Amino acid sequence: MKQKTDRSFDGIAAKFSRNIYSSTKGKLRQLVLLRDLAELDVLHQPCQILDVGAGQGQLALALAGQGHSVHLTDISAEMLQLAQQQAIEQGMAQLTFSQIGLAELAATHKQQYKLVLCHAMLEWLAQPQLAIAQLRQLVTPGGILSLMFYNKDAKRFGNILFGNFDYVAADFQVKKKVSLNPQHPLAPQDVLHWCTQAGFSVLGKTGVRCFHDYLLDRTLQQSQFEQLLTLELQYNRTEPYASLGRYQHLLLRAD
């Protein structure tokens, strides 16, 4: 069996920006995360934030625009370069950048943060359980980890709905992986168990793209986006919809 490795987006950063961040699914994800984070007490005053696996920094830029200081890390030089360009263009001096992986960051970085972000990164890692323990080292006691991961249950549900039965039966293994598809979708029950083991307690859970990805008419994602967003925000913390989100967003307190 081929050994799992962490994924870097060097070489496809521009494609990722175009197909993910600039799409309705990227826009919806951003707005859901900003809604969830806005309710945290820690962000009611200027805060130092660590964004691990920050990619092109859309969320970090938005938080910096609210007056917070954000340190962005990623293993992809191309991703960080795009984030830096945006920061310069927007005059965001309160952003700092480090090209570094999580394991090295946890081993060498002495500072802990009241808020650590880790969004859409776990599913690209070879050892996601270890990553959660490493993230815990970066959160101050009583601080918050904002963790979003690709939901394996939702991926299974969506593929069954669209008739991809062989793909589901093969546990999503294909001979040629699609470059922008997460390598290792995660079972929510596993992630919750790992978080508890690492010393986190769950403050809240939100589904991200509970309806967007299941629309039979995909043109509605664009043409009726505002209506779709309203429904997502209305129901994405309520079961069963929260568990159907293509991603799950957990707010976790470090015990």
CA distances from 191 to 35, 90, 127, 173 (A): 22, 36, 12, 21
d(CA 119, CA 29): 10
Provide the strand spans (E) within the chain: 48-52, 69-74, 95-99, 113-119, 139-150, 200-208, 247-254
Residue 3 pLDDT greater than 90, yes or no: no
d(CA 115, CA 226): 29
| 9-51 per-position pLDDT tens digit | 556 555 555 555 679 999 999 999 999 999 999 999 999 999 9
- pLDDT at position 19 is 53
- pLDDT at position 2 is 44
d(CA 200, CA 141): 10
d(CA 32, CA 205): 12
Is residue 25 a contact partner of residue 245, using CB atoms and an 8 Å limit? no
Q: Among the listed ranges 15-19, 144-148, 152-156, 196-200, which one has the minimum average pLDDT value?
A: 15-19
Residues of the chain with pLDDT > 90, as a percent, come to 85
> CA-based Rg of the chain, rounded to a whole angstrom?
18
d(CA 225, CA 218): 11
Cis peptide before 240 (omega within 30 of 0): yes
**Beta bridge partners of residue 249, listed in sequence order:** 148, 206
Q: Give the pTM.
A: 0.91
Q: Among the listed ranges 89-98, 172-181, 186-195, which one has the minimum average pLDDT value?
A: 172-181
For the segment 164-170, the average pLDDT, to the nearest whole number, is 94
CA distances from 188 to 45, 86, 127, 180 (A): 32, 33, 15, 21
Mean pLDDT of the chain: 91
CA distances from 170 to 164, 165, 180, 251 (A): 10, 9, 19, 32
